[in-house]
Amino acid sequence: MNHATPAAAAGGGVLIGVAVTWLWLALGRIAGISGIVGGLSRTDAGWRLAFLAGLLLTPIALAELGVAVAWQPPETSWPVLIIGGLLVGFGTRLGSGCTSGHAVCGIARLSPRSMLATLLFMLTAAAVVFASRHGFGR
């Protein structure tokens, strides 16, 4: 996050917007990553695998083209990462989707359910960050 610039943020936003719009117009699908991953065992796994491959390969391709791609490994232990991942997975099932489905796509469709889900995601994230930085003896 130390190297973020308004131009990079805007470019990333445009790329996300193009990707979710293309998926919606071409296939009639919402680009909710938890739903895409959760549906990999279905018969329509091809587009899901292609979308996920694009998420993983795009930063590599950009780096090969000379675009600065900033990535820093998490500053925590593997058990914390695993527990966090399981909690996020549980939360996406409980909330019927993730931030990409609700915040990026749902709010754009003016979905009241997605607006409420996104509000709850953000409030929960703020509470967890506050508690982890101030409440757990960090």
Task: Indicate whether 9 pLDDT > 90.
Answer: no
What is the phi-psi region of residue 19: left when phi exceeds 0, alpha when psi lies from -120 to 50, beta otherwise?
Answer: alpha
Q: How far apart are CA 30 and CA 17, in angstroms?
A: 12
User: Helix (H, G, I), strand (E, B), or coil: what is residue 72?
Assistant: coil
pLDDT > 90 fraction of the chain, expressed in percent and rounded: 17
Other CB atoms within 10 A of residue 61 CB: 11
Average pLDDT over residues 89-113: 86
Phi, psi values for residue 21, rounded to 5° = -65, -45
One-letter identity of residue 70? A
**Average pLDDT of the residues of the chain:** 85
DSSP state of 136: S
Q: How far apart are CA 135 and CA 128, in angstroms?
A: 9
Q: Quick one: pLDDT at residue 115?
A: 93
Specify whether the CB–CB gap between 105 and 20 falls below 8 A. Answer: yes
Other CB atoms within 10 A of residue 97 CB: 25
One-letter identity of residue 50? A
Task: Indicate whether 119 pLDDT > 90.
Answer: yes
Using CB atoms within 10 A of its CB, is residue 114 exposed (0-12), middle (13-18) or buried (19+)? Answer: buried
Degrees, nearest 5: CA angle 69-57-15: 70
Model confidence over 24-54: pLDDT tens digits? 899 988 888 888 888 888 888 899 999 899 8
